[in-house]
Amino acid sequence: MKLEENGYAIEDATRAIELDPKYVKAYYRRALCQLSVLRPQLAIPDFKMCLSLEPANKLAKTQLDATTKLLRRIQFEAVSRRLLIARDFLVVCVVSDPKNDRSLSFKAIAVGDEKPAAIRCREIIEEGGCDHLDKTYAGPKLPIVAEAAAGKRQPTYGISKEFVEEMLEWFKSGKQLPKRFVWEIVLGCNDVLKKEASLVEMPVREGMTCDIIGDTHGQFYDLLNLLSMTGPPSDTHCLLFNGDFVDRGSWSLEVILTLMAYKWLYPQSVGLNRGNHEAKDMNKVYGFEGEVKHKHGEQTYNLFADVFTSLPLSTMVSPSLPPKTTTTWGRPSILSPEGLKRYFVVHGGLFSRDGVTLDEIRSIDRFGRQPGQEGLMCELLWTDPQELPGRGPSKRGVGIAFGPDVTRSWCELNGVTGIYRSHEVRQGGYAVEHDGLCTTVFSAPNYVDQGNNLGAYVRIDANGEVDYHTFKAVPHPPMKPMAYASPALGMFG
């Protein structure tokens, strides 16, 4: 369970129950794993079984109550969404009688239409509903690039390097930005993301480098340490953050605002791939929703949830100069059609079927969509490599596992030198697998304050040469991980 191999843990608990149907601990552990893979409806019967076997089990009773509340909340929100969709199809009959011609007209209208949160937040800003700065606020201020024009009530903000640097120091001291600035950063980032395909092209030209950074999971102080090693993004230095920016760590808001501010400031030099934790169901359980609502309210969380669906699903890092080395683990390197190295960067991994092309990935309609538990988007965000050839069930209980033959076949089909992915803790910070074709990079050291793992990042130059860098965790203020998580996951705190 601590390795997050919930699929395997569910299988083990099920076998234990088959051997001993009265083994309370097995029911309890299986229930916790079902919760971890977002199946509270399957956790509830196991918690109930614990109580039927041990009526005085207070821990099982607490978990049952919390899980029941979580499931009711999820069901209520699902019903609310369905009602809104149904109302959109209501047809209102409007009877008019101009000039006594007894004409009858029918007009289809959207009643209670649920606008995307990004659109609604812009309207609220213009209406003055997110106005403005407290007089006592002494923190960083976004630069005004245009004063309020005729017919508009609000100025237009931009972003600057000075603001971002001051913002990082402000966050480091434990302080928050005003909600208006939070919204402006998220909306400014969204404007950039909306223009990107689901597979982004990131060229590495002569004199440039690109750093690939794995999961950061709300560990803001470790992110600051990491940035001190990579250096900030610039015209000659790209930073590609490979998903799972939020959840688990208790400074997820500070982490995601840092990354989104950099993306707004350096749209070509910063990449943000979506991870499986940039999703509503994960945020509801693992802390980001609770954290944002606590710090800035529900509408701010709705804005993040909307903009998360704008995040690209993958990036192709494409060095522009001929390679200096042309072998990978003793075999000829797989090159692009132009004879250059290039690297596919994705949070999870590869697919449940052969033959998936780059064009298929590029054309995935991601906007407004959640990953779900099947299909290409889910697999890009959720799958893991395995040592055995072929494909197998996921150790997590979501997605699949893919072997070294699957990786080689896909890379050869698409002219890809290697895959960089994240999604899993590696004790050394990274691990090169599948004969050098699949590398896992994880950038949250001492994960949730108990992993004792290193963090890592990967640097790629214009020839496609790769260097690996590792780092240790740094101290942080006295707040535990999962501080804002669902009570149903209190055992992970």
Residue 270: in which H helix or E strand, if any? strand 270-272
**The pLDDT value given to residue 307:** 98
Q: What is the pLDDT of residue 76?
A: 67
Q: How high is the pLDDT of residue 208?
A: 98
The per-residue pLDDT for 239 is 98
Residues marked active site are found at 277
What's the rounded Cα separation, in Å, for the pair 212 and 457?
6
Q: How many CA atoms lie within 13 A of 163 on its CB side?
A: 20
Residue with tokens 């804002």, as numbered in its chain: 484
List Cα–Cα distances, 157 to 98, 182, 183, 315, in angstroms: 48, 12, 11, 29
Tokens of 42: 């399957």
pLDDT at 112: 39
Q: What is the mean pLDDT of each run of 10 residues along the chain (493 residues)?
A: 68 89 90 81 91 90 86 70 49 40 34 76 90 84 85 86 98 96 98 98 98 98 98 97 97 98 98 97 94 96 98 98 95 97 98 98 96 94 97 88 98 98 97 98 96 97 98 96 79 38
Strands (E) across 320-447 are located at 327-328, 331-332, 343-346, 384-385, 391-393, 400-402, 418-421, 430-433, 438-441
Length of the chain (residues): 493
Residue 128: per-residue pLDDT: 86
Strand partners, 108: 91
Closest to 316 (Cα-Cα) out of 407, 467, 212 = 212
Residue 222: what pLDDT?
Answer: 98
Contact by Cβ (8 Å): 197, 312: yes
Please list, in sequence order, all residues whose beta carbon lies within 8 angstroms of the beta carbon of residue 222, skipping any fewer than 6 positions away: 216, 443, 444, 445, 446, 455, 473, 474, 476
* pLDDT reported for residue 78: 62
